[in-house]
Amino acid sequence: MAEGTIDFDQALNEEQLAAVQAPDGPVLVIAAAGTGKTRTLVYRVAWLVQRGVHPRNILLLTFTNRAAREMLDRARDLVGDSVSGLWGGTFHHMANRMLRRHANLLGYENDYTILDQDDSKKLVRTCTQELKLGDKHFPKPDVLLSLYGLAASTERPVEALAASRFEHAPVRIEDILAVHNAYENRKRALNAMDFDDLLINGLRLFREQDALLEHYRDRFEHILVDEYQDTNTLQAEWVDLIAGPQGNLLVVGDDFQSIYSWRGADFRNIISFPERYPNTHMYKLVTNYRSVPEILGMANACIAGNPEQFQKTLKAVREPYQRPVLAQLRDGREQASFIVDRVWELRRQGYRLQDMVVLYRSHFHALEIQMELSEKALPYLITSGVRFFEQVHIKDVTAVLRLLQNPADELAFQRILGMWPRLGPKTTLKIWNALGRRCDLRKEASRQRLDAKIPAAAREGWNALECLAADVDRDSLLQDPGEIIHRFTERFYRAYAEETFENADRRLEDIGELINYTSKFESVDDFLNEVALQTNMDAEAEAVEQGSEALRLSTIHQAKGLEWRIVFILWVAEGLFPSTRALGDTADDSEERRLFYVAVTRAKDELYLCVPQVRRQRDGGMQFLQPSRFIGEVKPELMRTVKPNRWG
């Protein structure tokens, strides 16, 4: 469709139209689930462009890559290719994009490495060990990282958070701080940033570099933020700065769907928006096109217990259909077979597998259903705990690229050498130190020094790496990351994988996929830039778009923003959902309730709440389960209770 022919009145309802055509200045759009939030944002972009705003002057911020891609695709359909000048992506992406150009102002090299979760964990472990703190009672790297991350994203001191977090644990706060300190120094030495650093340093750019702030303020005349309820302190301040007091800032969110407080999200950002921007225009979207009224009734009822600020009730548009099903089941096995049976039946009625989803609180809840689906040969797609780019074999082959890009990347160096026999952590570290904690594979002299340090036992296949490194400049491989991975795999990794992994075939296929994926990128830098901020969901989302007939299994967190005709929710029982671990020792279950609300509002036609009565425990014992409080809070007449007869 060409510009200027968009019929906004036709495409939008009154609520949406008002938000889309909101005047300049601060705008807050409270968009309840399924009310066309994405549509509104996309049409807002179109509206702005039609009014003469150039797309390059628009900044569109999202939380996930998926949301960014979806919005940009839809905006392109609406406005045309001119929209490609628009800056759109996750906060991390946008911060990274700026830091690639300006990180040197903050004392980094611009070719810094981005550490993913796994890298950060390794680094924290190393720091702990070096400080000789790794005894049994010392917090695990994961725990420390989430603490440091929370401190970073809430701008609170680690000390205070650690004191309350480890109030009852026999841990010295000084030690926690010492590890934190070591971790921070280490990242500096590696010329690396973790995910939080991207946000912290992105914010520092604006706080400390007035000229830069001016530059970007001028550039971005309009800023749009999606899922604003999930911003943390850093992100909110970053947005406030770039918008400026007079800025045209439009934020969209739903305080009912704030489910990321554990990583620092603070829904007070959305609540206090009108106070921070006194001339805010506020709009509410409550007309729901997604779900049948029975499902919305359930959604409205379950969230009523939460004392949120912006009260709103979802208004149904669709015709009445049928009530959500409360399935009382004996155990996980019966739950699994119930779902499989229902899926077959629904398929018979004409639903496709991709119309259905199984949602759960935690990844491990999906174990039994996975087994059952495999057994019954029902194709399924799971967005599992391990991200595509964090799998061992993917990290192995990209380590070569990382070291080429950043010769100070100790983690990549360790990983590469560790693939050769007799080169473990200790030996590798000695070599690294002997090389002056730097290894530039592109330099002949540097390669020779490394070569001289490799012990005889590890020589086998060593020249594969040497040759590859020598090829890089000769064949200008820095422009072709896929070719580097390909050569590394053929000359070394294929054989290594086959003797290391039981499922080498599958892993080598993954590497093939990875090589295909690299063709989108023009250089090693380009590729690495993207990979660290990418989850597996995009690779899988593409598979879904290609029409693969499969049942989707997903955590509720990952399902946010998506919808299916049929939704099954697993383990709606006390202890599992709400999760005991998530509740900790607080009585505040409001975020778990919001999560339940998110799960319920994913469903368009039919919703199944599965409540097993017992759960097999690790030690073989049986744990009796109570139905989740979230079910008890809803009037029974809003549901239809089913006790499937397994012999019927």
Partner DNA sequence: GTTTCGGTTCTTTTT
Partner DNA sequence: GAACCGAAAC
Shortest Cβ 439–DNA spacing (Å): 17
Q: HEC string of 69-96?
A: HHHHHHHHHHHCHHHHHCEEEEHHHHHH
Nearer Cβ to DNA (248/601)? 601
Report the nearest approach of DNA to the CB of residue 68 (Å): 9
Give whichever of 140 and 172 is closer to DNA, judged by the CB atom. 140
Cα(202)–Cα(179) distance, integer angstroms: 24
- Cβ-based nearer residue to DNA, 1 or 622: 622
The catalytic residue among 116, 196, 197, 226 is: 226
**Tokens, residue 553:** 């299994």
Q: Is 227 one of the catalytic residues? A: yes
Say which of 593, 594, 602, 604 is annotated catalytic: 602
Q: Which is nearer to DNA, 260 or 488 (CB)?
A: 260
Q: 585: exposed, middle or buried (C-beta count within 10 Å: 0-12, 13-18, 19+)?
A: exposed
Q: Which residue has the tokens 């689930």?
A: 33
What residue ranges bind DNA (CB under 7 A)? 63-65, 90-93, 117-118, 125, 136, 140-141, 146, 195-196, 259-260, 262-263, 361-364, 367, 383, 385-387, 391-392, 421-428, 457, 503, 506, 533, 535, 537, 555, 557-558, 579, 581-582, 584, 618
Catalytic residue among 38, 209, 500, 558: 38
- At closest approach, how far in Å is the CB of 33 from DNA? 18
225 sits in which H/E element: strand 222-225
User: Which residue's CB is nearer to DNA, number 176 or number 477?
Assistant: 176
Nearer to DNA, 28 or 152 (CB): 152
Instruction: Assign 5 to helix, strand or coil.
Output: coil
Question: What is the signed CA dihedral for 379, 383, 387, 388, rounded to 10 degrees?
Answer: 30
The active-site residue out of 15, 116, 119, 227 is 227
Q: Which is nearer to DNA, 65 or 300 (CB)?
A: 65
Quote the CA–CA distance of 80 and 83 in Å, as a whole number: 6
38 classed as catalytic: yes
Structure tokens at 532: 């660290």
Q: Residue 125 CB, nearest distance to DNA (Å)? A: 6
In the bound complex, what is the minimum distance in angstroms from residue 144's beta carbon to DNA? 11
Taking the complex as a whole, how short is the minimal distance between the CB of residue 195 and DNA, in angstroms?
A: 4
Tokens of 288: 């729901």
Terminal Cα-to-Cα distance of the chain (whole angstroms): 54
* Residues in contact with 368: Cβ distance below 8 Å, sequence separation at least 6, in sequence order: 332, 333, 335, 336
Q: Could you tell me the CA-to-CA distances from 405 to 186, 191, 367, 440, 469 in Å, in that order? A: 18, 11, 39, 9, 12
CB 580 within 8 A of CB 591: no
For residue 637, indicate whether it is catalytic. no
* 280 counts as catalytic: no
Closest CA to 566 of 590, 533, 534, 602: 602
Quote the CA–CA distance of 273 and 236 in Å, as a whole number: 10
For the bound state, the minimum distance from the C-beta of residue 163 to DNA, rounded and expressed in Å, comes to 18
Q: Residue 395: which H helix or E strand, with range?
A: helix 392-405
Closest CA to 518 of 492, 498, 539, 545: 539
| Residue whose entry in the numeric block shows the structure tokens 């039981």 | 502
Tokens of 34: 């399924």
CB of residue 424 to DNA, shortest distance in Å: 2
Q: Which is nearer to DNA, 272 or 503 (CB)?
A: 503
Least Å distance between CB 214 and DNA? 27
Nearer Cβ to DNA (63/283): 63
Q: What angle do CA 143, 144, 150 make, to 5 degrees?
A: 90
Please report where in the chains the tokens 């089913």 appear, as a residue.
642
In degrees rounded to 5, what are phi and psi of residue 168? -105, 5
Q: Which of 15, 37, 240, 525 is catalytic?
A: 37
> Which tokens hold the place of 405?
């890009």
Catalytic annotation, residues: 37-38, 226-227, 257, 602
